[in-house]
Chains A and B, each alone.
Chain A
Amino acid sequence: MTGSSRLGRAGLALCQIMLALVILVPFFWMVSVSLKPGTEPFAIPARLWPDNPTLENYATAFRPEFRIYFVNSMVVSLSTVLITVSLALLAAYTFTRMQTRMILICMSLVIAAQMFPASAIIIPIYKLMRSANLLNTYASLILAYITVTLPVAIWMLRAFMARLPVELDEAAAIDGCGPLRTFFAVILPLCRPGIVATAVFVLIVTWQEFLFALSFTSTREMRTLPVGINDFIGQYGIRYGELMASSVLISLPVVAIFFLLQRQFVAGLTAGALRG
């Protein structure tokens, strides 16, 4: 595995860097636009660096409302991630170990709901939230997001857990572990990459979700970041500089979180769990 030559590794590193360029070119453009003052027109042909770069767009983007939107997004997303991943873990585990026809059918029905087009059902959902008096609250968003991500999370974790052989459970049982202990001590550590992947999925989906956030929030104080983006899009023009600056500010936190988490992700590389 580590037999790759020096040259091979350098080649791969180069590939990674090229990949970065390909992915990030639109981001360079985004940053470039975010540094352009409002009065400077777009140049022809497109230039990657503005004439008079300025940070004024970031100052505007980081306005007080931004902090409110940020907090709202954080609260809603993190709550959803915690609740969804916890519930999904338990469900996926029991699902892999105790699968019956009935359970399979029910779970398939649950995931089938992912096929429903959101804009066709948003108004009835709005009415439901309204009758429950949940409009314009964190609860409405968290509830909606859990509904949408939990089925996916369960299926994803189940797929990650599927290959863990039952022998593991039995070995643990022989060692005297009850089901809960088996779960926490044996299964969980092996699924870390899968858990991180699922958590990242839920985080990102909720971080950038727009339709529900738009429909359930009305006052400024409750809006989330994606909805806040619309502040820069008027009827007659887009304030590109500020929009891009705002987007940079929105994207970075999640990337930072993942950067910290990804050590967990690949920790499995050194785990010799199956030999224990």
Chain B
Amino acid sequence: MHHRHRWLAWVFLVPAMIPVAILMYYPMVGTAIESFYSTSFINPNPQFVGLELYRKLFASGEFGTIVWNSCIWTVFVVLFQNLFGFAVALLLNRELPTSGLMRSLVLLPWVLPGVVAAILWRFMYDPQLGLINSFLIRIGLASESQAWLAEPGTAMGAAIVAAIWKGFPFSTVVYLAALQNVDREQIEAATIDGAGALRRLIHVVIPSMREVIAINLVLTTMLTFNYFDMIWVLTRGGPQNATHIFPTKIYELGFGQFRFGEAATYGVFSILVLAVLLALYFLARSAGGRRSMARG
């Protein structure tokens, strides 16, 4: 059936390709071109300036901070969303009377509109009115309120926790679905061979979910890197740029200060940095793959 129906593949792929080309590539290329002009709201006639805006970008101390913040943010949120999500998926995979309800309840953080979740967490972190400080003081883990979001040292961590809570259900749902398709025969064979639950997990379950894990990691990386709502509402990128990441910086420049040219420049870099992150992941993966193949 394969080669005769090759054209079918293209027929099915075209509905994805055309809208993406028109609505995403075309604007993005346009924006990238804009970054070579002195594009600005207040300048109705932009001039070609080449790499001038990029030079300004590097000269400002902020750029390095934003790259660093974006990487920290993405790596930690993705890592813990996937780990926690996977653990929860395992937990919810059991047929217990509570499982049915739990599987739907676990969706709640994800379903909540991003802005509302962020407002909620901002409130919970509030130094005077928030739950988190009251709770920590009540159980004796803290002697006084912490201004989690106002201290440069704790703001990013606080934002990361909130983002993990918000997004882990996605990973849970994906991993739960993947767990359904794990080959029952292989599991039983392993059990018969005397493998315990952990052994089965590592040597049978996870390898059989390889594709799904990989795609989930890539997806959550891309989605998290560009995740705007949480940080914008929590801190607007502050205090003193401690939580400023690419999406918030781009929005602030473009819509907050009408600086479209610089927003475009950051936009182009946003893609480059993310691409590097993903490339690093793929490199690590293929290195790991080669290693396990060598082990035979």
Residue from A44, A91, A94, A100 in contact with B128 in the complex, judged by beta carbons closer than 8 Å: A44
CA distance A244 to B246 in the complex (A): 29
CB-CB under 8 A from B211, the residues of chain A are 158-160, 162-163
The answer to whether B113 touches A179, judged by C-beta atoms less than 8 angstroms apart, is: no
| A68 cross-chain contacts in B, Cβ below 8 A | none
Residue from B22, B27, B107 within 8 A of A254 (CB atoms): B107
Q: Which residues of B contact A120 (CB under 8 A)?
A: 28, 31, 250, 254, 263-264, 266-267, 270
Establish whether residues B107 and A117, one from each chain, have CB atoms under 8 Å apart when the complex forms.
Answer: no
With a cutoff of 8 Å between Cβ atoms, the chain A residues found around residue B134 in the complex are: 45-46
> Does B8 sit within 8 A of A, measured CB to CB?
yes
Cα distance A169–B5 in the bound complex, in angstroms:
14
CB-based nearest B residue for A226: B113
- A129 — nearest CB in chain B belongs to which residue? B23
Closest to B92 in A: A16
When distances are taken between beta carbons in the complex, the residues of chain B under 8 Å from A121 are 24, 27-28, 31, 267
Q: Please tell me if the beta carbons of A23 and B180 are within 8 angstroms of each other in the complex.
A: no
Chain B 7-24: CB-based contact to A (< 8 A → 1; otherwise 0): 011101101110110111
Cβ contact within 8 Å between B105 and A255: yes
Q: What string of 1s and 0s marks CB contacts (under 8 Å) between A1-30 and chain B?
A: 100100001001101110110011111011
Q: Is the interface of A mostly helix, strand, loop or mixed?
A: helix
Given that A46-B129, A160-B212 are contacting pairs, would A193 and B177 also be in contact in the complex, using a CB cutoff of 8 Å? yes
A265 touches B103 (CB 8 A): yes
**Which residues of B are found within 8 Å of A91, using beta-carbon distances?**
9, 12-13, 15-16
Q: Give residues of chain A (57-86) contacting chain B, Cβ–Cβ below 8 Å.
A: none
Nearest-neighbour CB distance to chain A for B293, whole angstroms, equals: 18
Closest residue of A by beta carbon distance from B277: A115
Say yes or no: is B96 at the interface (Cβ < 8 Å to chain A). Answer: yes
In the complex, A243→B112 CA distance in Å?
12
A268 and chain B: residue at smallest CB distance: B180
- In contact, B107 and A24 (Cβ under 8 angstroms): no
- In the complex, the answer to whether A243 meets B116 with C-beta atoms within 8 Å is yes
User: How far is the CB of A184 from the nearest CB of chain B, in Å?
Assistant: 15
A128 part of interface (Cβ distance < 8 Å) = yes
Q: Would A147 and B24 count as touching, CB distance under 8 A?
A: yes
Binds A, one of B60-68, B214-222, B236-244, B284-292: B214-222
Q: Of B103, B120, B133, which contacts A262 at CB under 8 A?
A: B103
CA distance A113 to B226 in the complex (A): 12
Residues of chain A contacted by B17 (CB below 8 angstroms): 106, 110
The number of residues on chain A lying at the interface, defined by a beta carbon within 8 Å of a beta carbon of chain B, is: 105
> Shortest CB–CB separation between residue A7 and chain B, in angstroms?
13
Closest to A154 in B: B16
CB-CB < 8 A to B96: which residues of A? 9, 12-13, 16
Cα A201 to Cα B107 in complex, Å, equals 10
Flag whether A90 is at the interface (Cβ < 8 A): yes
Q: Which residues of A in the span 79-113 have a Cβ within 8 Å of any Cβ on B?
A: 87-88, 90-91, 93-95, 97-98, 100, 103, 106-107, 110, 112-113
Q: Which residue of B lies closest to A114 (CB)?
A: B222
CA distance A147 to B20 in the complex (A): 5
Q: Which residues in A have their C-beta under 8 angstroms from that of B294?
A: none
- Shortest A245–chain B CB gap in Å is 11
In the assembled complex, A241 has its CB within 8 A of some CB on chain B: no
Mark the stretch among B42-50, B75-83, B181-189 that contacts chain A. Answer: B181-189
> Nearest chain A CB to B32's CB is how many angstroms away?
9
Q: How far is the CA of A162 from the CA of B129 in the complex (A)?
A: 50
B26 A29 Cβ-Cβ under 8 A: no
Q: Is the CB of B19 within 8 A of A156?
A: no
Closest Cβ neighbor of A88 among chain B residues: B16
Q: Which residue of B lies closest to A126 (CB)?
A: B27
B86 to chain A, nearest CB (A): 13
> Smallest Cβ distance from B110 to chain A, in angstroms?
6
Q: How far is the CA of A193 from the CA of B96 in the complex (A)?
A: 18
Interface centre among A150, A151, A258 (most CB of B within 10 A): A258
In the bound complex, residues from chain A placing their C-beta under 8 Å from that of B8 are 94, 98, 179
Q: Is B178 an interface residue (CB 8 A)?
A: yes
Minimum CB–CB distance for B254 against chain A, Å? 6
Chosen A-B contacts, 17 in total, with CB atoms closer than 8 Å, are: A20-B102, A26-B121, A29-B123, A42-B129, A94-B9, A97-B2, A120-B270, A128-B26, A143-B23, A144-B23, A194-B177, A200-B173, A226-B113, A250-B111, A255-B108, A266-B95, A269-B180
Where the two chains meet, the residues of B that have a C-beta atom closer than 8 Å to any C-beta of A are: 1-3, 5-6, 8-10, 12-13, 15-17, 19-20, 22-28, 30-31, 88, 91-117, 119-121, 123-124, 128-131, 133-134, 137-138, 165, 170, 173-174, 176-178, 180-181, 183-185, 187-188, 191, 208, 211-212, 214-216, 219, 222-223, 225-226, 228-229, 246-247, 250-251, 254-255, 260, 263-264, 266-267, 270-271, 274-275, 278
What 4 new A-B contacts, CB under 8 Å, besides A46-B131, A255-B107, A266-B103?
A: A88-B16, A90-B12, A204-B107, A254-B111
